[in-house]
């Protein structure tokens, strides 16, 4: 059977937050007993506000009723420029596939679904952050490194 991707709404918040916790613990290598309750509460508030406004669209990939992975897209606006005349941006985030479902095309389906949502909104710029393991997939889908980007750490 092939994995399917569907949009997630605020009424599925418990599932959304459970998978978000899974992502946070794995990606940030948090200890199993690390208290993430405050972080999950902040995520709940984020999702409640932005899912309702349409600023964020979330999805699950599933097969035979089992969740295999997730993803999201955050819609933003920047100053229009020659490379993005509309100023509309889509930041793909929280892209995650559970270990047992990896290397089966689930990540590709999630990313393609998110790109399609961005295209529907007329977005001129789609970007994401990548782990080393997912970089090859993103490159195959048409993403390129943005070597001039930097992040402020406050130091």
| pLDDT above 80: residue 90 | yes
pLDDT value at 110 more than 80: yes
Answer whether CATH 3.40.630.30 is correct for domain 4-140. yes
Q: What is the mean pLDDT of residues 133-153?
A: 88
Place of tokens 């679904």: 113
Residues 52, 137: Cα–Cα separation, whole Å: 30
pLDDT at 150: 78
Domain ranges for the chain, please list them: 4-140
Res 127 pLDDT > 70: yes
Q: How confident is the model at residue 1 (pLDDT cuts 50, 70, 90)?
A: low
Q: What is the mean pLDDT of the chain?
A: 94
Checking if the pLDDT of 89 tops 90, the result is yes
Residues 6+ apart with CB under 8 A from 5: 59, 60, 61, 62, 109, 110, 113
Q: What is the DSSP string of 13-38?
A: HHHHHHHHHHHHHHHTT--TT---HH
How many angstroms separate the CA atoms of 5 and 107, rounded? 10
pLDDT, residue 151, reads: 75
Q: Over range 26-34, report the average pLDDT.
A: 94
């Amino acid at each position: 059977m092939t994995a399917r991707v569907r949009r997630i709404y605020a009424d599925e918040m418990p599932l959304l937050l459970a998978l978000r916790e899974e992502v946070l613990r794995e990606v940030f290598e948090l200890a199993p007993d690390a208290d993430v309750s405050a972080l999950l509460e902040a995520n709940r508030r984020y999702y409640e506000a932005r899912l309702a406004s349409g600023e964020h669209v979330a999805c699950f990939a599933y097969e035979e009723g089992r969740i295999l992975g997730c993803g999201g897209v955050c819609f933003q606006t920047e100053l229009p420029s020659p490379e993005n005349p509309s100023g509309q941006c889509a930041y793909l985030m929280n892209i995650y596939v559970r270990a047992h479902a990896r290397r089966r095309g689930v990540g590709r389906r999630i990313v393609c679904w998110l790109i399609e949502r961005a295209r529907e909104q007329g977005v001129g710029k789609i970007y994401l952050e990548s782990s080393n393991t997912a970089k090859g997939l993103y490159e195959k889908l048409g993403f390129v490194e943005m070597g001039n980007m930097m992040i402020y750490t406050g130091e």
